[in-house]
Chains A and B, each alone.
Chain A
Amino acid sequence: GIQVEQSPPDLILQEGANSTLRCNFSDSVNNLQWFHQNPWGQLINLFYIPSGTKQNGRLSATTVATERYSLLYISSSQTTDSGVYFCAVGFNDYKLSFGAGTTVTVRA
């Protein structure tokens, strides 16, 4: 299957800081999604972004499919941004392969 690597594994931010999370994948994809898992375990879909750039409030994402990576940007971080961010990919199938995640801690 497609291998997914996320970096960094852990990130500690001061409230108000900006950050970039990276997702590298080993093969062609036509499905790429970013998720946020809150401290209670609930996963929320942030972006569906197999290519191009999208923005939603303080979050934005860019996928460069030809170079096999995606970036998630968090601007003006808030304590509610804490949690684990997962990148998941797929190719010609609805099932997804997940990375190990980036754990983000935002301190007040």
Chain B
Amino acid sequence: DGGITQSPKYLFRKEGQNVTLSCEQNLNHDAMYWYRQDPGQGLRLIYYSQIVNDFQKGDIAEGYSVSREKKESFPLTVTSAQKNPTAFYLCASSMTSGDDFQETQYFGPGTRLLVL
């Protein structure tokens, strides 16, 4: 089945620890995105990538890092510099098709990160 997978479903982080969230897609999409969702709020963009080996900061990139070495994979690292990392993290992907920017985003099931 085509889709987006995220792992783990739940992740616990100790103080001062870096953790990496996995996102994989087999939809052959060029663009991938990471969002953060806090309780009762909308999604905020952390990082996005429109092509392999290139990515851009979103609205709340501080304390996070990403890589895009393969088209299928866009892992997110939550570093110790992120002081309030407890949240629900969602990965998405979409096609990129020219200049009209008219492409639907598809989401993975999410990872819940909790700080111990």
> Per-residue 0/1 for B87-105: is the Cβ within 8 Å of any A Cβ (1 yes, 0 no)?
0101010101000111111
Cβ of A94: which chain B residues have Cβ within 8 Å of it?
Answer: 31, 48, 50, 94, 96, 101, 103
- The residue among A40, A50, A92, A94 with the most chain B CB atoms within 10 A of its own CB is A94
A interface size (C-beta, 8 A): 28
B residues 11-70 near A (Cβ < 8 Å) are 31, 33, 35, 40-45, 48, 50, 58-59
Chain B's interface size range is 20 to 34
Q: Which of A1, A42, A43 contacts B59 (CB 8 A)?
A: A1
What CA separation (Å) do A21 and B45 show in the bound complex? 23
Cβ of B88: which chain A residues have Cβ within 8 Å of it?
Answer: 41
Q: Quick check: A48 and B104 within 8 Å, CB to CB?
A: yes
What CA separation (Å) do A43 and B53 show in the bound complex? 27
Query: Does B110 interact with chain A (Cβ within 8 Å)?
Result: yes
What CA separation (Å) do A92 and B96 show in the bound complex? 12
Query: Does B75 interact with chain A (Cβ within 8 Å)?
Result: no
A residues 20-63 near B (Cβ < 8 Å) are 30-31, 33, 35, 40-45, 48, 50
Q: List 14 A-B contacts (CB under 8 A).
A: A1-B59, A31-B103, A35-B107, A41-B112, A43-B107, A88-B43, A93-B101, A94-B31, A94-B50, A94-B96, A94-B103, A95-B58, A98-B43, A100-B40
